[in-house]
Amino acid sequence: LRPEAASYLKGLNPEQRRAVETTEGPVLVLAGAGTGKTRVLTTRIAHLIATGRARPYDILSVTFTNKAAREMKHRIGGLIGPAGEGMPWLGTFHAIGTKILRRHAELVGLRSDFTILGTDDQLRLMKQVIIDQNIDEKRWPARSLGHTIDGWKNRGLGPEQVPPGEAQAFAFGKGGALYTAYQERLKTLNAVDFGDLLLLCLKLWREHPDILENYQDRFRYILVDEYQDTNVAQYLWLRLLAQKRKNVACVGDDDQSIYGWRGAEVDNILRFEHDFPGAVVVRLERNYRSTGHILAAASGLIAKNESRLGKTLRTEAEQGEPVTVTGAWDSEEEARLLGEEIESLQRKKHSLSEIAVLVRISAQMREIEDRFVQLGLPYRVIGGPRFYERAEIRDALAYLRVTANPADDLAFERIFNTPKRGLGDATLQTLHAFARADRIPLLAASRKLIETDELKPRARTMLRGLVESFSRWARLVENQPHSEVAQTILEESGYTDMWKKDRSADAAGRLENLKEFVRSMEEFPDLAAFLEHVSLVMEASETEGAERVSLMTLHAAKGLEFDTVFLPGWEDGLFPNQRALDESGRAGLEEERRLAHVGLTRARKRAKLSFAVNRRIHGLWSSTIPSRFIDELPAGAVDVIDAPAHFSAGASRFDRNPTPFGSSYATPGWQRAQAQTGHKFGGTFGSGTVGRSGGPRQIEGELVAKSTGSASAFTGGAR
């Protein structure tokens, strides 16, 4: 142990110390963001080792993301030094599950070199299974089966455990049979999917109690971070493992539970106290991360949730800067303001690594990334590819690249059979041979090939269709706006349809990205200029080690902290998400609010929210209204800055507190407007109904609104 680590306990407050020093028996730390839960876990590991209670390999520590695992390794490294005795088992549920399964693979019918299928392979396999069962794959697509099966696995249900009613609901009662068939196929392939990594451990342990007991004895101390986001399978896994020694310490925050849509169950927190009676429950109330204003804003917001265990948080930090709310005319201006603010922080010598931009959906990233590239601001996207590197965007790009340049073979090959059009590997090989022989590009070779009888009739017909489409699209580019052509291409090729038919959870996001993609083209004079821009963005090199702004979704930000956090896109319909607003119950909205709370609490010193008055929604410009979450922030902690004069309807909301925007949503007369404007600057604020208790007033066209208070004149298209 390093000498400085000996003092590791000194920095802790009494409650934290209790959580660290209660080494025996179950411990549950239920505490808010930034109260040092993760710190308690890392210190606990150091403590167990320093006091000789455990050697590193007696310890199992579960984190939620690989990033968190790395960070924890780093923190532990700092406490116990480059571990001479090796590191504890430390990683995500999946990583640890894999490690265990590899050792006992043969007992669950696998070989130890089993492969873990990625989503793509998983889907391909499901498709085969569906076809094998003579089910119409169009009606019951592989993705929705995937979603259903993942759901069962998240709940710890193997094929034989699925409640009959649920198995009935899929594909006219064939859900159960499909699940069984899928598992059998996996076994034949010596493969597993992500869900299996835990499910098969459960099976292994249930069928071989001696092996379970081995692990129970081995992992004498178990620690779990972000406990609120465990799903049932993970919970069962933990419970089995911890049952014997019961030295299990879980830390979590019900107000940060944001994976309900992926099967996480907050109830696991309540279950813990039930399954581990006598658990020492520690509550931490001092937040060490954020300034007073940030904490007040976050606490005020989350207080609006009904279903929560409830807790208080305090800080001894100074109030600091108020949380700022900036309204922008549209999302482009929002991105511009964001860039300016970051540059200004940079000039003041703030480190870019201490700045994060957290978005609700990945489609928001495109405009921000473009702006960063223009400004030459180095950035990284955490937890996902950069916008133009996403699969659906690369596919769309490939179509455009072939249209612009018929000799782009790489692009052609990418979309040759995407969406599926019966052009399999055999056809591609024939085509390659043809192209090589004549030394011509694949598209040109296709044109020749369809005039021969080398291909089966069906493949020939399909290929002819593709060739003719590309000729047609190339002509369109000559005389139509290129973004419209792109739209046409995506539709005629069946690409958009492919995602529309898709029932998986991420399909909606991909469609959203595609729309954003088409819309981004409008900013360029022609297709060539657009494609050049994209290749520049894609090249913007990731200089290793350099300081960079972090860009990620709110979901990916859990557990992290930054000095400055930008939170763009706080508009109803985007955040909270429309799906949550459409839902009848409160559950969806409350999960969105927790997500907002996670976002705010990532900030140490500065939290900067923004919204755009106009944003494209489903391809049409819509005037939006600021997120209801903004209204819910306590007035004292928030500053409305740079509210543009053209942000008009809201102007009346800036006077007369109690909330930064006045009592708008508390006022029954306030009507939400989701008005659609014809064009970006044409219809200014749209034609919806925006009004207050005095009776809604109609706003239309180029308008000058009647002032309801202070400066609230519309300035039309002024920017």
Q: Which of 256, 291, 364, 430 is catalytic?
A: 256
The CA-CA-CA angle for residues 180, 182, 183, to 5°, reads 65
Q: Is residue 38 within the footprint of Mg ion (CB under 5 A)?
A: yes
33 is in an annotated binding site: yes
- Which tokens hold the place of 611? 């919204």
Rank residues 88 and 559 by Cβ distance to Mg ion and give the closer one: 559
Residue 122 site contact among ligand ATP, Mg ion, none (CB < 5 to 8 Å, cut-off depends on kind)? none
Compute the least distance from the CB of residue 181 to ligand ATP, in Å. Answer: 41
Dihedral sign of CA atoms 26, 27, 30, 36 in order: negative
Q: Which of ligand ATP, Mg ion, none does residue 288 bind to, with CB < 5 to 8 Å depending on kind? A: ligand ATP
For residues 39 and 548, which CB has a smaller minimum distance to ligand ATP in the complex? 39
- Helix, strand, coil shares, percent, the chain, to 5: 50, 15, 35
N residues, the chain? 719
Q: How far is the CB of 593 from ligand ATP (least distance, A)?
A: 16
**553 catalytically annotated:** no
HEC profile of 637-665 = HEEEECCCCCCCHHHHHCCCCCCCCCCHH
Q: What is the DSSP string of 386-428?
A: -GGGSHHHHHHHHHHHHHH-TT-HHHHHHHTTSS--S--HHHH
> CB neighbours (10 Å) of residue 263?
20
717 marked ligand binding residue: no
Is 226 catalytic? The answer is yes
**Judged by CB, which is closer to Mg ion: 33, or 580?**
33
- Which two three-digit tokens encode residue 344? 């200004």
Each as own residue / partner, the long-range contacts of residues 215-218 (CB below 8 Å, 24 or more positions apart, any chain) are 215/100, 215/241, 216/241, 216/242, 216/243, 216/244, 216/245, 217/244, 217/245, 218/57, 218/58
What is the rounded CA–CA span in Å between residue 334 and residue 327? Answer: 8
CA dihedral in degrees (134, 137, 140, 143; nearest 10)?
Answer: 130
Residue 32 assigned ligand-binding role: yes
SS3 249: strand
Binding to ligand ATP, residues 199-218 (CB under 6 A):
none
Candidates 56, 406, 559, 569: give the one binding ligand ATP (CB under 6 A): 559
Residues 20-49 that bind ligand ATP (CB under 6 A): 33-39
What mask of x and - would describe binding to Mg ion in positions 550 to 569, judged by CB under 5 A?
Answer: ---------x----------
Residue 215's binding partner out of Mg ion, ligand ATP, none, with CB under 5 to 8 Å set by partner kind: none
The catalytically annotated residue of 225, 253, 516, 591 is: 225
Contacting residue, 289, 616, 646, 692, with ligand ATP by CB under 6 A: 289
Quote the least distance from Cβ 71 to ligand ATP, whole Å.
Answer: 9
| Identity of residue 718 | A
User: Which of 229, 253, 370, 409 touches ligand ATP by CB under 6 A?
Assistant: 253
**Token pair of 146, please?**
């995937």
34 is in an annotated binding site: yes
33 binds, among Mg ion, ligand ATP, none (CB under 5 to 8 A by kind): ligand ATP
Tell the smallest beta-carbon distance from residue 72 to ligand ATP (Å). Answer: 10
Strand partners, 567: 609
Whether 219 contacts 58, CB under 8 Å: yes
- As measured in angstroms, the least distance from the Cβ of 63 to ligand ATP is 11
For Mg ion, the closer of residues 336 and 602 by Cβ is: 602
* Whether residue 256 lies in the annotated active site: yes
Is the peptide bond prior to 419 cis by the omega test (within 30 degrees of 0)? yes
Q: Which of the residues 519, 602, 628, 653 is marked catalytic? A: 602
Phi and psi, residue 284, nearest 5°? -110, 130
CB of residue 709 to Mg ion, shortest distance in Å: 43
Is 38 assigned to a binding site? yes
602 annotated active-site: yes
37 is catalytic: yes
The residue nearest ligand ATP at its CB is 36
CB burial of 695-712 (b: ≥16 within 10 Å; e: otherwise) equals eeeebeeebebeebeeeb
Q: Which is the catalytic residue, given 226, 502, 631, 632? A: 226
Assess 414 for contact with ligand ATP (CB under 6 A): no
* Least distance (Å) between residue 605 CB and ligand ATP: 12
Q: Which amino acid is at 543?
A: T
d(CA 389, CA 366): 11
> Is 593 annotated in the active site?
no
The one segment of 36-44, 101-109, 444-452, 474-482 that binds Mg ion by CB under 5 A: 36-44
- Contacted by 163, from Mg ion, ligand ATP, none: CB < 5 to 8 Å by type: none
Q: Nearer to Mg ion by C-beta: 38 or 513? A: 38
Binding positions for Mg ion, rule: CB under 5 A: 37-38, 559
Binding positions for ligand ATP, rule: CB under 6 A: 11-13, 16, 33-39, 253, 256, 288-289, 559, 561, 601
Positions marked catalytic: 37-38, 225-226, 256, 602
* Binding site members: 31-38
